[in-house]
Amino acid sequence: MSFSFTAEQEELRQLVRRFCEEKSSSEHVRRLMDSDDNRDDKIWSQMADQLGLQGLSIPEAYGGSGFGPVELGIVLEEMGRTLLVAPYFSTVAIAGQTLALSDDEAAKQRWLPGIADGSLTATLAIAEESGSWELDSVETTAAQAGDEWSLTGTKMYVLDGATADLLLVVARAGDELGLFAVDGAAAGVTRSKLDSVDLTRDLGRVELDGVSAVRIGSGDATEMLVKATDLILAAFAAEQIGGAAKCLEMAVDYAKIREQFGRPIGSFQAIKHKCADMLLEVESGKSASYYASSVVAAGDHESSIAAALAKAYCSTAFTHAAKENIQIHGGIGFTWEHDAHLYLKRAKSSELLFGSPARHRERLADLVGI
Amino acid sequence: MTVQQTNIPSEIESDDDFRARLRTFFTDHHPGKPPRDPKERLAHQKAWNATMFDAGFSGPSWPKEFGGMELSFAHQVIYQEELARARVPGPMGTGLGIAAPTIIRYGTQAQKEEFLAPMLRGDKIWCQGYSEPGAGSDLPSLRTTARREGDEYVVNGQKVWTTQATNADVLFTLVRTGTQESRQKGITYLLIDAHAPGVEVRPLRDITGGAGFAEVFFDDVHVPVSHRIGEENEGWPLVRTSLGHERAAGAMNQAAVYRRVLDELTALARERGRASEPLIRDQLADFEIRVRIMRYNAARIISDILTKGEPGAASSVSRMLITAFEQDLHEFAIGLLGPAGLLTKDSPHAVQRARWLTGFLRTRASTIGAGTSEIQRNTVAEQVLKLPHDPGMPPR
Cα distance between residue B381 and residue A277, in whole Å = 9
Q: Which of A133-137, A365-369, B70-74, B163-167 has the lowest mean pLDDT?
A: B163-167
Answer yes or no: do A152 and A24 share one domain: no
- Given an 8 Å threshold on Cβ–Cβ distance, is B282 in contact with A279? no
Closest C-alpha among A269, A279, A284 to residue A248: A279
A109 located within any domain: yes
pLDDT at residue B7 above 60?
Answer: no
Sign of dihedral through CA atoms B72, B73, B79, B85?
negative
Q: Could you report the per-residue pLDDT of B227-239, keeping only the tens digit for each?
A: 999 999 999 988 8
Beta strands in chain A (DSSP E): 122-125, 141-145, 148-159, 166-173, 176-183, 189-193, 203-216, 259-260, 263-264
Do A258 and A201 lie in one domain? The reply is no
Question: Are A166 and A137 contacting, i.e. CB atoms less than 8 angstroms apart?
Answer: no
Does a structural domain hold residue A341?
A: yes
Tell me: do A111 and A135 sit in the same domain: no
Instruction: Report how far Cα B219 is from the mean position of its chain's Cα atoms.
Output: 28
Query: Per-residue pLDDT tens for B126-139?
Result: 998 999 988 888 88
- pLDDT at position A147: 82
Strands A122-125 and A166-173 come out as parallel
CA distances from B293 to B8, B304, B333 (A): 34, 16, 20
Mean pLDDT over A131-159 rounds to 96
Of the candidates B243, B253, B13, B244, which has an alpha carbon nearest to the alpha carbon of residue B116? B243
Q: Is A1 among the domain residues?
A: no
Q: What is the largest CA-CA distance in chain A?
A: 78
| Domains contained in chain A, number | 3
pLDDT of residue B326: 96
Q: Please give the residue of chain A at the shortest CA–CA distance from B393.
A: A267
pLDDT of residue B246: 77
pTM: 0.92
- For residue A183, give the nearest of A155, A154, A214, A157 by alpha carbon: A214
Taking the CA atoms of residue A87, residue A88, residue A89 and residue A92 in that order, the dihedral angle to the nearest 10 degrees is 120
Task: Round to whole Å and give the CA distance between A66 and A61.
Answer: 8
Sorted by sequence, the CB contacts under 8 Å of residue A183 that are 6+ apart come out as A165, A166, A167, A189
Answer whether residue B5 shows pLDDT above 60: no
Inspect the interface and report whether the beta carbons of B386 and A252 lie closer than 8 Å: yes
- Window from A164-173, B208-217, B255-264, B309-318 with minimum mean pLDDT: B309-318
**Which residues are paired to B174 by β-bridges?**
B189
pLDDT digits (tens, 9 = 90+) for A182-235: 999 999 999 999 999 999 999 999 999 999 999 999 999 999 999 999 999 999
Q: Are residues A90 and A135 in the same domain?
A: no
Task: Tell which of A61, A90, A120 closes a domain.
Answer: A120
> How much is the pLDDT for B103?
94
Amino acid A3 reads: F
pLDDT class of B33 with cuts at 50, 70, 90: confident
pLDDT of residue B123: 93
Half-sphere exposure of A364 (CA within 13 A, CB side): 27
ipTM value of the model?
0.94
Q: Who among B300, B306, B377 is closest to A273 (CB)?
A: B377
The rounded distance, in Å, linking the Cα atoms of A132 and A6 is 38
**Do residue A252 and residue A357 come from a single domain?**
yes
Residues A235, A177, single domain; the answer is no
A291 and A308 inside one domain: yes
- Min distance A234 CA to chain B CA atoms (Å): 15
Q: A3 pLDDT band (50/70/90 cuts)? A: confident
Identity of the residue numbered B85:
R
Tell me, yes or no, whether A154 and A207 share the same domain.
yes
A240 with A313, same domain? yes
Mean pLDDT of the region A300-304: 94
Same domain for A215 and A295, yes or no, is: no
Q: Are B78 and B94 in contact (CB under 8 A)?
A: no
B221 Cβ contact list (under 8 Å, min separation 6): B154, B155, B156, B192, B196, B197, B198, B199
Asked if B389 reaches chain A (Cβ–Cβ under 8 Å), the answer is: yes
pLDDT at A348 > cutoff 60: yes
- Tell me the β-bridge partners of A281: none
The reported pLDDT for the residue numbered A1 is 59
Domains of chain B: 34-120 (1.10.540.10), 125-232 (2.40.110.10), 237-384 (1.20.140.10)
> What are the strands, taking DSSP E only, across B10-79?
none
CATH of the domain at A44: 1.10.540.10
SS3 B113: helix
Size (chain A), residues: 370
pLDDT band at A2, cuts 50/70/90?
low
- d(C-alpha A18, C-alpha A248), whole Å: 19
Torsions phi, psi for A358 (to 5 deg): -65, -40
Mean per-residue pLDDT, B241-254: 79
Cβ separation of A309 and B292 shorter than 8 Å? Answer: yes
Is B246 one of the catalytic residues?
A: yes
* Cβ–Cβ contact B380 with A under 8 A: yes
Rounded to whole angstroms, how far apart are CA atoms A184 and A189?
A: 7
What is the per-residue pLDDT for B12?
A: 67
In a domain, A204, yes or no: yes
Give Dmax over CA atoms of chain B in angstroms.
Answer: 71
Note the pLDDT of residue B74: 86
Instruction: Count Cβ atoms below 10 Å from residue B306 Cβ, excluding itself.
Output: 15
Using CA atoms, how far apart are residues A276 and A270, in angstroms rounded to an integer?
Answer: 10
User: What was the pLDDT predicted at B229?
Assistant: 96
Mean pLDDT, chain B, as a whole number?
90
| B4 pLDDT above the threshold of 70 | no
Cross-chain residue pair A252–B390, CB shorter than 8 Å: no
Whether residue A287 and residue B297 make contact (CB cut-off 8 A), yes or no, is: yes
Same domain, A328 and A282: yes
Confidence of residue B13 (pLDDT cuts 50, 70, 90): confident
Residue A82 falls inside a structural domain? yes
Contact call for residues B291 and B262 (beta carbons, < 8 A): yes
CB contact under 8 Å between A365 and B292, yes or no, is no
Last-in-domain residue among A90, A120, A150: A120
Final residue before a domain boundary, out of A220, A238, A269: A220
Q: Are A319 and A351 in contact (CB under 8 A)?
A: yes
Please check whether residue A214 lies inside any domain of the structure.
yes
| Over residues A157-180, mean pLDDT | 98
Q: What is the pLDDT of residues B313-361, one digit of tens each?
A: 888 898 899 999 999 999 999 999 999 999 999 999 999 999 999 999 9
Q: How big is the A-B interface in CB pairs under 8 Å?
A: 138
Nearest CA to B216 among B273, B266, B159, B265? B159
What's the pLDDT at A87? 98
The enclosing domain of A132 has a CATH number of 2.40.110.10
Share of chain B above pLDDT 90, in %: 63
pLDDT exceeds cutoff 60 at A68: yes
Contacts of A361 in chain B (CB under 8 A): 281-282, 285-286, 289
Nearest CA in chain B to A259: B388
Question: In this structure, is the dihedral angle defined by the CA atoms of residues A8, A13, A14 and A19, taken in order, positive or negative?
Answer: positive
Residues with Cβ within 8 Å of B180's Cβ and at least 6 positions away in sequence, in order, are: B141, B143, B186
CB atoms within 10 A of CB A339: 19
Chain A contact present for B300, CB below 8 A: yes
Contact residues, chain A, for B289 at CB < 8 Å = 288, 309, 312-313, 361, 364
Distance separating alpha carbons of residues B256 and B201, to the nearest angstrom: 35
3-state secondary structure of B93: coil
Asked if residue A2 is part of any domain, the answer here is no
> Which pLDDT does position B241 carry in this prediction?
77
For the segment B181-201, the average pLDDT, to the nearest whole number, is 95
Q: Which residue of A has its CA nearest to B297?
A: A287
CA distance A363 to B10: 51
The rounded distance, in Å, linking the Cα atoms of A253 and A248 is 9
pLDDT for A70-80, tens place per residue? 999 999 999 99
Which of A152, A163, A153, A168 shows the shortest CA–CA distance to A193? A163
Q: What is the dihedral of CA B317, B322, B328, B333, to 10 degrees?
A: 160
Q: What is the CATH number of the domain that holds A331?
A: 1.20.140.10
Q: What is the DSSP letter of B135?
A: B
A128 and A106 belong to one structural domain = no
- Confidence at residue B139, expressed as pLDDT on a 0 to 100 scale: 87
B84-135 pLDDT, tens per residue?
A: 889 888 776 777 888 998 999 999 999 999 999 999 999 999 998 999 988 8
The contacts of residue A275 (CB under 8 Å, 6+ apart) are A248, A251, A252, A255, A266, A324, A328, B381, B385, B387
Domain span including residue A279: 223-368
In a domain, A299, yes or no: yes
How far apart CA B232 and CA A181 sit, in angstroms, is 79
**Per-residue pLDDT at B92:** 63
Active-site residue, selected from the candidate residues B132, B246, B271, B310: B246
Q: Which residues contact B288 (CB under 8 A, 6 or more apart)?
A: A309, A364, A365, A368, A370, B262, B266
